[in-house]
Structure 1
Amino acid sequence: MPVAGLVIAVLTASVVGLWPDGAEAAVATPVASVSAPAPEPSRALTPFEQVSSQVDAQKLALLKGDEAGWLAPIDKKLQPRYRTIFKNLRALDLTSADMGIDGELTEKGATLTGKVGLTYCFSGVACPAYRLDPTGGAPKIIHKITWTSRGGSWVITRMADSGVSNYLQPAPWENTALTVAAGERVIVAGPKSQAANVKRVLPLAEKAAAVADRYAAQLNNPRAKYRIYLADNKMWKSWYAGAAPPWSVAYHLQLNNTGSDIVVKASKVMPEGNRYITEVIQHELGHSVTLDGNHNRDAEKDQWLTEGVAEYIGYQPGKPQNGYSGDALRFVRSRGRAVKTIAVPSLTEKSDDLAVTRLYATGHFAVACMAEKYGEPKMLNFVQMVLHSGVERDAASQAVYGKPFAAVDKACVSWIKQKL
């Protein structure tokens, strides 16, 4: 595939018996009567305490599937948006969530304004504790919320952008009512415009997941469940701030260290037929099993390997020389860019189509070469060390293959020429 993917506060309320002023509580003991300490005077909850308690109640309602409780503090005009969030999250197999007020509240007249965060995890994934930083811990969305005092209660009357830089927003489920189809291993979702495609993709994605699961087992990196979003052209530009570069037709996005989402551009993928759809999805699931939960903060340095192993998994059980990658490298060679190293430089926003094609196809051949020459288990071990653990490729090559990477590189360049 030329552009198949991208790596790219619970305020606890306790009931206490308070004695009337001046009264004493007699406590029977074996030796004496003891006076109870004077009770603390009761006080009204502060506005912060009131809305904090409200936020906690909403979180519990969300987790219990209590839509009425979730909507209880929401103004009628805002309820459709909150209902969308509730229904989407429940349909997407939400299993853990937390909510909190991030920072101070601003009080102006009868209104309060502050940032509220919602952390979430799906399908039983271990969910870290709530954190202020959206780039660590559980995935998180943040909104600027306005409460208005009405009849002694605080009603949520506005939800706006928080102004906080967060690569996980807008999430596909926070603004758009989704059509969701769930299988044994995959959940597929999309806006109303993609309802028919959601049903079409689910069985194809289940088939692709069976392949990805085999590699996840070999890499000791099992995935709880895969989520695939089908984006129409508008959503493609909006979801996750339009995270994809111009050459991609789908991408895999890690949700911190709690799994990932896959987003597919429906207009580019769906017309191409079931085989291509399956390959694109299988490629992105390949990213999930090789990248999710990694400790490497510089995986883009070895993009040829990142995309190469995803292409290798995505094209299974086919061979690169028998498909698109073979045709692609022959075309690249005819344009004066013959393969001289398997470690092709990573792409940039300025990379042309030929550079994109060369990286994906060369990476595919490179991974296939290492699998054939040294065995698939060793190839996957090399991939895991470099991409998952951040080991330099030469050190990983010495450890896995028993020879420097330069020797592996030279052998695979020769192998590729033979296959072409």
Structure 2
Amino acid sequence: MLPTVINLVRWQRIVLLPVAVLLTSVAVAASDVTNSSAWADVTARLTRPMLESGPLPRPAEDAPVSEFQAWIAQEANAVLKVETEGLLSGDFTTYALGAMPDDPLVRESLKSRFRTLRELKVTRFDQRIDGQPYVLPGRDSWRVVVIADHCFVETDCATDEAVFDSRWKVTPDGLKLTGFRVHDRTHPCFSCSSSRSAIVARPWETTELVAKVGKRTLVAVPLKYRARLAELAARAESAAVIADRYQVGDGKVDRYRLFIADPVSCSQWYYGYPGAWAAGLAAPTGPNRIEVEAAESALTPGYADELLTHELAHVSTLRNDTTYGQDDVWFLVEGMAEYVMQQGVGGKEYRRGTVVRHLTQQRPLRSVMVQPPAFDADLVDAQARYAVGYYALEYLFKHYGKTKTLAFFRGAVQYGIGLDGASQSAFGKPWAKVDRECAAYVRKL
């Protein structure tokens, strides 16, 4: 397992780099004090036409912080390019060439990350620095934020930018990588290509994984669950077949990415601990990418297929969305996933009717626009809210048909035109009237 640090310190930006320094920092070169033959070979392979000023020399010890920032950026860029080269070619020696030598913890951390990304069949890992380097206490240690636009399995995929921190140390032999850390998601990404690139902790950042590629899925598990990988991958393939029937949006999902979490990982991955009542989650990571996390403890023989189908349904119906996560459409988002899930259970009756009655006995149900469960909600309350969404979608599919219902969902969730606008467009009547119809259907259960 990789060392995991979710750093709560708010790092201070020291100074903005002048434009001229930013321009010169794109030149790639090794430290002028490094005489390693291996590094010299790397430098030769990376050298490209330099600006007139050439590569930046190592600053003097008393140089301004801004000079060190420009040099650190230059050297870190060189190391990251070599690291990517080693990763994609499967050469760990090259991958770890710029790391702190003779540090077993750093080396083991890099090995774990390297093995995991190779297991995930990484095909693209374009790394670049975001913003400027941040000096840490002691001045010889630095934090550099990295953006990695990456693909797994396919050689071309939708933009998917992971944002993470790298740590560096200035040594007599130049700048050396000392490891990676999870990025504080409250800090913005300055140069992500999409404003919808999510700053979340990816599973491969914190946990060593093994993976299996199927026709439609990529399934990864922590090492302790290796024995379950084949079984869960087969279940995921079956769930993907069902989810594919309810795709909303342009084009087909290129591949469903599913990560199985242990109790520790549940608190580390994506947005952290999802709540006591959550067995899985769908995490939007980019403008056209959603990844799935499912708790291994919930993947029992009697529930695994339902859970996986529910989560993959989120992927197939929420790509390109603009309002996922907003409370007014929450019942639609979860109701759709529950409805798709139910299509794969072989005619088994949806089992939460009694739970809905529990909710309606507390107060009259006048609208199906229920709010999400509280973070600390009990399981019965959470299930009841999901069930209201399910039965609302069941009514829409029965009464208006699949084509109109999916069009309504797309307008309300993906296009964000509002429930009333989507209802008028798809059903030819205001949402208030359709909402009353759905609520009456649920009350009769």
Q: Please indicate the TM-score interval, normalised by the length of the shorter structure.
A: 0.7 to 0.9
CA deviation vs aligned residue, 1:251-274 (integer Å, no higher than 9, x gap): 11011224122111112x13x31x
Q: Is 73-82 or 366-375 further displaced after alignment?
A: 73-82
Pairing of 1:4-83 with structure 2 (within 5 A): 9=26, 11=28, 13-14=47-48, 45-46=57-58, 47-48=71-72, 49-75=74-100, 76-77=103-104, 78-83=106-111
Partner of 1:165: 186
Gap change, CA 1:297 and 1:237, over 3 Å in 2: closer
Q: Percent identity?
A: 23
Displacement over 6 Å in runs of 4+: 40-44, 107-110
- From 112, 116, 120, the counterpart of 2:145: 116
Relative to structure 1, the CA distance from residue 346 to residue 50 in structure 2 (aligned partners, 3 Å threshold; closer, same or farther) is closer
SS in 1 for 2:233: helix
Secondary structure, aligned partner of 1:324: coil
The answer as to 2:265 corresponding to 1:197 is no
Q: Which residue of 2 aligns with 1:376?
A: 402
Measure how far apart 1:365 and its partner are: 0.6
Matching residue of 1:154? 175
CA 1:101–1:114: 2 relative to 1, 3 Å? farther
- Check conservation: 2:164, 2:181, Cα contact below 8 A: no
Amino acid at match of 1:186: T
2:123 is aligned, of 88, 92, 95, to: 95
- Stretch deviating more after TM superposition (57-66 or 368-377): 57-66
Alpha-carbon distance between aligned partners in 1 of 2:89 and 2:158, rounded to the nearest angstrom: 17
Higher relative contact order (CA 8 A, sep 6+): 1
Residues 1:292 and 1:42: Cα distance change in structure 2 (over 3 Å):
closer
Aligned to 2:309: 282
Aligned residue in 1 for 2:133: 104
Compared CA separation, residues 331 and 108, structure 1 to 2 (3 A): closer
- The structure 1 residue matched to 2:335, chosen from 308, 322, 338, is 308
Partner of 1:415: 441
Counterpart residue type for residue 293 of structure 2 = V
TM-score normalized with structure 2 length: 0.75
Larger Rg: 1
Shift of 1:189: 1.2
Query: Do residues 141 (structure 1) and 168 (structure 2) align?
Result: no
Do the aligned partners of 1:294 and 1:387 also contact (CA within 8 Å) in 2?
yes
Structure 2 counterpart SS, 1:371: helix
Distance in 2, Cα, partners of 1:113 & 1:43: 20
Take 1:417 and 1:321, find their aligned partners in 2: how far apart are those partners?
21
- The unaligned stretches of length 5 or more in structure 1 are 1-8, 17-39, 129-137
| Secondary structure of 1:173's aligned partner | helix
Aligned residues of 1:325 and 1:364 also touching (Cα < 8 A) = no
1:229 equivalent in structure 2: 259
Q: Distance in 2 between matches of 1:74 and 1:352?
A: 47
Instruction: Report the RMSD for the aligned CA atoms in angstroms.
Output: 2.9
Relative distance call for 1:296 and 1:110 in structure 2 (3 A) is closer
- Equivalent residue for 2:13? none
The alignment partner of 2:47 has SS state of coil
Deviations 1:224-277 (A, max 9, x none): 11111111112112222524122111111011224122111112x13x31x420
CA contact (8 A) 1:299 1:306 kept: no
Deviation at 1:219, TM superposition (A): 4.1
Distance 2:273 2:211 in 1: 22
In structure 2, the gaps of 5 or more residues are 1-25, 29-45, 59-70, 188-197
Task: Determine the C-alpha separation between the residues in 1 that align with 2:53 and 2:344.
Answer: 74
Show the 5 A alignment for 1:383-402. 383-402=409-428
The alpha carbon displacement at 1:201 in A equals: 0.8
Bigger Cα displacement from structure 2, 252-261 vs 105-114: 105-114
Aligned 8 A contact 1:378 1:401 in 2? yes
